[in-house]
């Protein structure tokens, strides 16, 4: 009897466990949520400059803005795992229990990025202080940031985390063995940590480019999406790393590459709350 060989599903085919109709509806929902986050982010950026540092934001308001930004940038790329996991929740839960489990998963994912937001806030505070003392240091800070981001693109942590994010089926099998206690929260946080490990270098370049630089955010979101879901994503990772190396060389001599480290940029309007 001849042996039949079944080819494993491609790592970028996230919908193998979902009917096509359900997959389409889920993707539309994820895109709409990301679009809403983009609307909020763009609306807020209109009231803010790209001055160095924390832009005058207190930590709680910065983290709120950061979480919205991460939702805008990350939701499309996290869709393969999120959609399939939520599908499993829908099969095993109903009513309030289902809503609670989905909220736990999303909260766990955003919790990982909130933790990274604390690191980002500290880095922005330090760079803002250094640029205030000596504006010329912004050039070397920018070069160092681009160089660090390039190292992350070529480093082993990037490859490990990107491999994890590009193989949702393997992740779901791993997550199914988690203990029941706060399972969905821990699944969301676990996957969020891998996303942080995959993308922290890309987020870091917002320091020289400007945290509220919408064009930079959109470009980075596209890179993140393609790195995780495009078959040629690993090659894109290397190309972006090479681009960061070039920017690191140019940064000390080209101030226009560093709008987020320019102390003469337009000041942020005085903020008393969340504005749209």
Enter the tokens of residue 64: 């709120």
Q: Is the pTM of this model over 0.85?
A: no
From the list 69, 77, 159, the residue with the least C-alpha distance to 110 is 69
Alpha-carbon torsion angle 83, 84, 86, 87, nearest 10:
110
The chain-wide mean pLDDT, for the chain, equals 81
DSSP state of 8: P
105 contacts: CB under 8 Å, gap ≥ 6: 82, 85, 86, 89, 184, 185, 187, 188
Q: What is the pLDDT of residue 27?
A: 74
pLDDT, tens digit, 9 for 90 and up, residues 107-166: 888 999 999 999 999 999 999 999 999 989 999 999 999 999 999 999 999 999 888 888
pLDDT, tens digit, 9 for 90 and up, residues 72-86: 998 888 877 777 777
Which of residues 17 and 169 earns the better pLDDT score? 169
Distance CA 134, CA 128 (A): 10
User: Which CA distances in Å does 108 have to 30, 103, 142?
Assistant: 17, 8, 32
* CA diameter of the chain: 78
Enter the tokens of residue 126: 């330090």
φ, ψ for residue 74, nearest 5 deg: -105, -25
| Residues 115, 66 contacting (CB under 8 angstroms) | no
| Residues 50, 195 contacting (CB under 8 angstroms) | no
DSSP state of 265: S
């Amino acid at each position: 009897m001849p042996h039949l060989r079944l080819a494993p599903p491609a790592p970028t085919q996230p919908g193998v466990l979902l009917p096509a109709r359900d997959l389409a509806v889920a993707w539309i929902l994820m895109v709409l949520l990301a679009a809403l986050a983009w609307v909020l982010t763009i609306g807020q950026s209109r009231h803010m400059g790209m001055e160095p540092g924390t832009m005058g934001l207190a930590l709680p308001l910065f983290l709120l803005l950061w979480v919205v930004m991460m939702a805008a940038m990350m939701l499309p790329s996290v869709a393969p795992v999120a959609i399939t996991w939520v599908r499993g929740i829908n099969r095993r839960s109903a009513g309030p229990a289902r809503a609670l489990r989905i909220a736990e998963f999303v909260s766990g994912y955003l919790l990982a990025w909130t933790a990274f937001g604390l690191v980002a806030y500290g880095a922005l505070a330090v760079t803002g202080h250094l640029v205030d003392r000596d504006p010329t240091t912004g050039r070397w800070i920018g070069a160092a940031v681009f160089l660090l981001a390039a190292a992350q693109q070529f480093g082993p942590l990037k490859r490990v985390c990107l491999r994890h994010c590009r193989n949702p089926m393997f992740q779901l099998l791993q997550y199914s063995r988690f203990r029941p206690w706060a399972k969905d929260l821990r699944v969301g946080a676990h996957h969020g940590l891998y996303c942080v490990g995959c993308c922290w270098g890309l987020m870091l370049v917002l320091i020289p480019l400007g945290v509220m630089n919408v064009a930079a955010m959109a470009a980075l979101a596209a890179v993140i999406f393609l790195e995780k879901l495009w078959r040629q994503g690993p090659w894109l990772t290397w190309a972006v790393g090479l681009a960061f190396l070039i920017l690191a060389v140019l940064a000390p001599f080209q101030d226009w590459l560093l709008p987020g480290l320019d102390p003469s940029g337009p000041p942020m309007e005085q903020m008393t709350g969340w504005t749209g």
